[in-house]
Structure 1
Amino acid sequence: MIFQGYNLLKTATVYENVALPLKLEGLSSKLIRERADKYLEIVGLSDKKEHFPAQLSGGQKQRVAIARALAHEPEILLSDEATSALDPETTDSILKLLLEINHTLGITIFLITHELDVIERICDRVAVMEQGRVVEEGTVLDIFTNPKQETTKRFVGSEAGFDIPQDLLEEYKKTGKLVSLYFVGQSSEEPALALVSRQFDCLPSILAGGIEHLKNDTLGKLLVHLKGEEDAYNDAIRFLTEQGVTVREVTK
């Protein structure tokens, strides 16, 4: 387990923080040295072995905690908000390290977090919890493009995530339909939205948008106002869906 607050022994060196739990497990001195050296090297702290926690930065302390957890050579690594106490730059380095550990050592990482960026960058699947119960689960892509539960919708963000005033959104709804469009992978490279105005009597206006880089995909999101008759709107939505675009109508 990797703790949010590091949980390092202040009077022990970096090496001792990694080695002591192994000693308590009853491993031999030779095996303890081998594992401590191996995993301190993996986390990039071989040159800090004789330092004490007070001499380290927050990111370095978390790396010691990661090395300590890895030294047990587990099948599953539980990360309890391991980056929430770190600055953005340090968080970035820790996420890269966790990804590398996942890829090179083949260890499953079970990660608890409230940070969307963490989920986007290193997770394959997501489970959303509310009041101690799992209310929704699925791939990162499914959860971000088609959340079903209200808790999930609030968590991953909705049209309000674009910071557009609600009264302005209501005005747009009076003159047409508001939809969220999600472009995944190859669909993000096709001019699907541009073709809508050429092929259908439906005029699209982009109100907001952005690109999110997931672990295995690139996700483009647009908030679009579609102005036209109901039939033209339905034809446009059908066309976009056929082009691989996920479409969700904004109703609130």
Structure 2
Amino acid sequence: MIAPGNTLICVFSYNRGHTLQLCLESVRAMAPGFKTAVYDDASDDPETLRVIERSRPLLYADFTNPRPKDGRRHGNLYENIQAAMDFARARGFRYLFMLQDDMQFVRPLSEPVLQQYSEIFASDEKVIQVDPRFLRRGNYDIVVHNGAYRHGPETSYSDVGITHLDRLHDIDWRMLDSEQLNKKRLAELGRMRLFPFSPIVMHVPFPTLFRRGRQRLRLFPFNRGKYSFHAMTDAEIAAMDARPIERPPFFREHLRPKNMVLARLAYEIREDGKIFT
């Protein structure tokens, strides 16, 4: 079963100090007892460096990859993910819970949630990831026997989620240099990523964006990288978990954005995917 003793939470970071702080605070609040590591892709943003320095006493480990990014779209992310997988497995962890620095917990990683996610892994040895994010609107298959959702067989991997390290090791897996390549290859190998009935994390709305090591400028909404979601109340959690399985957990139905005034208009009218880019 997924538990603090066999699961390492790993946050992949680059130059997003405000949301990295939010992410780490939410981990401490919502997943107490779980060890946490940060893999930073050589951030040069002073706020990010201060956040990592302040957090260091509370971290299980932190690493910086100094290798040049050479114009790669996501820098050294996939090298960092592979390093985190190797590090975690060498230290006896069975699962790596991968988060990005623009994400937050919105509800606790409780015993019922851990049981639910463990049952998804136990339902089929080809499940390599449980992706505990809230969903964007789209077409999802309901996997009735384990109460989960699937977004097509080709979406077999994500850079976010609880990853079963032993199952990847058993197929001699090494990370390829893009999410799309990893999805394609793991789908060819028959592996699966499933979304649980009860998600617990989400990307923050309107994050600061980086591509090939450079910040992408957006004129609106203002204050990008400063928004988040409210933590769910006990009543909201109970209501979400009482819904029928035929209703996927879409983020717009269950999460309340925080700190928005003018940005709330953009949040309401934009397509789901545009909220996180």
Q: Which has the higher helix share?
A: 1
Q: Normalization by structure 2: what TM-score?
A: 0.20
Q: Normalization by structure 1: what TM-score?
A: 0.21
Larger Rg computed on CA atoms: 1
> With CA pairs under 8 Å and 6+ residues apart, which has the higher RCO, 1 or 2?
2
